[in-house]
Amino acid sequence: MSDLTKLTAAELAATIASGDVSAVEVAQAHLDRIAAVDERVHAFLHVDTEGALAAARDVDAKRAAGEELGPLAGVPIAVKDVLATKGVPTTAASKILEGWRPPYDATIVERLRAAGTVMLGKTNMDEFAMGSSTEYSAYGPTNNPWDLGRIPGGSGGGSAAAIAAYEAPLAIGTDTGGSIRQPGAVTGTVGAKPTYGGTSRYGLIAFSSSLDTPGPCARTVHDAALLHSVIAGHDPRDSTSIPQAVPDVVAAARLGATGDLTGVKIGLVTEFNGEGAEPGVMAAYRDSIEALTKLGAEVVEISCPHFQYALPAYYLIAPSEASSNLARFDGVRFGLRTGDDGRHSLEEVMSLTREAGFGPEVKRRIILGTYALSSGYYDAYYGQAQKVRTLITRDFTSAFEQVDVLVSPTTPFVAFPFGSRTGDPYQMYLADLFTIPTNLYGGPAISVPCGLSEGLPVGLQIMAPTMADDRMYRVAAALESTVGVLTPPAL
C-alpha cells in the first residue's frame, strides 16, 4: 500500500499544494489501491479511472499556472451511487437504472468538481438507500474491511468501506435514517449528517424527500469538516435548502482537537439506556462519556420521552414518501423497460418493468408506503406518524434549552455477519434505532469512533440543534483527540 493512501485529506491537500507530490500521483495511488483490494471489499460499483486522472491533471495544470487552489484540490473522493454524476453510471444500486448515465451533475457533485476534488468512482449501497447493511444492493454486498464476513453498515456501506479500506480519503454519503452515521460506526470511520436543508438534494435520487440529507464520510473529524464546508450551503434549485450561512465547522473541529471542552454541556438521553444494545457497545459508550467529562464537559441526563416512537414513525413516513418518489421508475423516460413486445399494455409494461427492476426491500417498502397512505389507514398510520414527528421535535427543542449537544451510541450493535438479519426486516430496522430521531427532527448528528467491542468498531453519536453543526464537530474532535483514529487490520 502506498503511503499516499494512508494520509488524511488535509495532509494530501497540503502535500499537493506544496508541489511535493502531484494530484495525478495521488489519484494513481488510490486507483492502484482500489485495483488491489476492491475485489474483496466491493466498495465501488463503478471506478472512473479516466475521469479521475483527467481531473487530477487539471489540478496539476492549475497549480503549475499559479492559480489558487481550494482546500481539497487534488484530493480523491468516492461518491455514493445515489447522486447524479454527468456521463458517469448512476444506478442507486438498482437493476432498474443499470447503465444509466445522467445528463447532469447533482449540485453537490458540481461543488466537488469546482473545489478540485478528484472523483474516483461511485460507491455501493443498499438499493435506493433502503437498508442498514448494504446487503440489498442489486450488485452484491460490500464487505466490512474489519472483517470481510460482516456487513459494512447501510445504506452507505460502500462509502464507509472505501474510507476504511484506504481506497479513498473522503466519500459522500446520504443519510435518511442513519445511512452515513451507522456505516461510519461499524467501519470505524467518521460520518456526519448535516442539518436537513444544509446540503442540497438537487440531483439526489430521492428516497424520502423530507429526510434525505447528503453528508461527508472521512477517517478524521477534521477531514469530515473540510468536506462538509465544501458541499454545504444554500442551493436555489432545492426548495428545502436553507438560505443561511453554514457555520464554520472546520474552525470548530480545530477547536475541539485542542481537547478542551470546558463550558460544554452534554446530555445523555435517558431513554437510550442500553435496552436492545450489546453490552460491549454500551461499555465503549460509557468510556467515551468518561473521556468527555475528563476534557471538561458537564454531563447530565435528559429525558426525551417520545424517542421510543421514532422508529415506528420513521418506518411509516419513509416508505410512504418512497412509494411516491419511486413512481417515476416506470420504464418510460430512463432505465429498464421489460415486456414491451407488442402484447402488453403500457400499464402491464410498467408493472413488469418494476417487478424485474426492483429488489425485495424496495418492493416491500413501496407496498408498505402505499398501505400507510391508503384512505382507510391514513389517519391511523401516516397522519399519526407526522404527529409523532412533532412530539420528537419538541423533545429535541426542550433538550437543547438545557444542553449544547446530546450523545448516544450510534448503533445498538457492532457489525453483524451477513445474512443474520435479512430474514426479519424489523430486526434489521433496529440497526437505526439511535440515529432515526435526528432525521425526523432535521438537526445535524455525527458518528465518531469511540472504541472497540470484540475487536470491532463502536461509534459515538453526537446530536446538535438545527444549523448548529459546528457544535457536534467540536465535541467529536475532542473525543477523537483522546480515542485516536482506529486502524483496521491489513487487507
Partner 1 sequence: MAAISREEVAHLARLSRLAVTEQELDTFAGQLDVILQSVARIGEVAATDIPPTSHSVPLTNVFRDDVVVPGLTQEAALSGAPDAEDGRFRVPRILDEEA
Q: Could you tell me the smallest distance in angstroms from the CB atom of residue 483 to partner 1?
A: 31
Angstrom distance (rounded) from CA 234 to CA 246 = 8
Q: Does 389 bind partner 1 (CB under 8 A)?
A: yes
Among 13, 31, 316, 415, binds partner 1 (CB under 8 A): 316
Among 62, 260, 425, 453, binds partner 1 (CB under 8 A): 425
Q: Could you tell me the smallest distance in angstroms from the CB atom of residue 253 to partner 1?
A: 24
Q: Could you tell me the smallest distance in angstroms from the CB atom of residue 277 to partner 1?
A: 18
| Crossing angle of helices 469-483 and 279-294, rounded to 10° | 100
- The residue (of 314 and 413) whose beta carbon lies closer to partner 1 is 314
180: exposed, middle or buried (C-beta count within 10 Å: 0-12, 13-18, 19+)?
buried
Q: Does 420 bind partner 1 (CB under 8 A)?
A: no
Angstrom distance (rounded) from CA 214 to CA 195 = 10
Pull the grid cell for residue 364. Answer: 416491500
Residue 80 falls in the annotated catalytic set: yes
Q: Does 64 bind partner 1 (CB under 8 A)?
A: no
Q: Which of 280, 261, 207, 308 is nearest to 403 (CA)?
A: 261
Identified catalytic residue from 133, 137, 155, 200: 155
Q: Does 330 bind partner 1 (CB under 8 A)?
A: yes
- In this structure, the strands spanning 170-175 and 190-193 are unpaired
- The residue (of 301 and 424) whose beta carbon lies closer to partner 1 is 424
Among 54, 245, 300, 380, binds partner 1 (CB under 8 A): 380
Q: Does 419 bind partner 1 (CB under 8 A)?
A: no
Among 272, 285, 309, 434, binds partner 1 (CB under 8 A): 309
Q: Which of 153, 205, 206 is nearest to 179 (CA)?
A: 153
Q: Could you tell me the smallest distance in angstroms from the CB atom of residue 226 to partner 1?
A: 25
Residues 240-279 within binding reach of partner 1 (CB under 8 A): 240, 242
Return the number of other C-beta atoms located less than 10 Å from residue 38's C-beta: 22
Count of residues binding partner 1 (CB under 8 A)? 76
Pull the grid cell for residue 23. Answer: 494530484
Q: Does 318 bind partner 1 (CB under 8 A)?
A: no
- The residue (of 202 and 473) whose beta carbon lies closer to partner 1 is 202
- The residue (of 319 and 459) whose beta carbon lies closer to partner 1 is 319
Q: Could you tell me the smallest distance in angstroms from the CB atom of residue 176 to partner 1?
A: 13
Angstrom distance (rounded) from CA 79 to CA 156 = 10
Residue 155 falls in the annotated catalytic set: yes
DSSP labels for 436-450? Answer: HHHHHHT--EEEEEE
Residues 430-469 within binding reach of partner 1 (CB under 8 A): 440-443, 466
Query: What angle (nearest 5°) sits at the alpha carbon of residue 205, between those of residues 190 and 184?
Result: 15
Residue 45 contacts residue 122 (beta carbons within 8 Å) = yes
Identified catalytic residue from 179, 208, 320, 408: 179
Q: Does 174 bind partner 1 (CB under 8 A)?
A: no
Angstrom distance (rounded) from CA 84 to CA 368 = 27
Per DSSP, the three-state class of 78 is: strand
160-to-63, 185, 451, 455 alpha-carbon distances in Å: 30, 9, 17, 18
Q: Does 328 bind partner 1 (CB under 8 A)?
A: no
Among 275, 276, 367, 487, binds partner 1 (CB under 8 A): 367
- For the window 75-114, what string marks contact with partner 1 as x by the rule CB under 8 A? -------------------------xxxxx----------
- The residue (of 313 and 399) whose beta carbon lies closer to partner 1 is 313
Angstrom distance (rounded) from CA 217 to CA 162 = 10
Residues 182-241 within binding reach of partner 1 (CB under 8 A): 196-197, 210, 236-240
Q: Could you tell me the smallest distance in angstroms from the CB atom of residue 51 to partner 1?
A: 17
Q: Could you tell me the smallest distance in angstroms from the CB atom of residue 108 to partner 1?
A: 17
Angstrom distance (rounded) from CA 321 to CA 265 = 36
Radius of gyration for the alpha carbons in the chain, expressed in angstroms and rounded: 21
Q: Which stretch binds partner 1 (CB under 8 A): 17-25, 121-129, 360-368, 470-478?
A: 360-368
Q: Does 146 bind partner 1 (CB under 8 A)?
A: no
Q: Which stretch binds partner 1 (CB under 8 A): 3-11, 157-165, 258-266, 424-432?
A: 424-432
Residue 74 contacts residue 12 (beta carbons within 8 Å) = yes
Angstrom distance (rounded) from CA 482 to CA 369 = 44
Angstrom distance (rounded) from CA 41 to CA 143 = 5
- For the window 339-358, what string marks contact with partner 1 as x by the rule CB under 8 A? xx-x-xxxxxxxxx-xx--x
Q: Could you tell me the smallest distance in angstroms from the CB atom of residue 90 to partner 1?
A: 10
Angstrom distance (rounded) from CA 413 to CA 471 = 26
Q: Could you tell me the smallest distance in angstroms from the CB atom of residue 352 to partner 1?
A: 5
Angstrom distance (rounded) from CA 113 to CA 326 = 28
Active site residues: 80, 155, 179
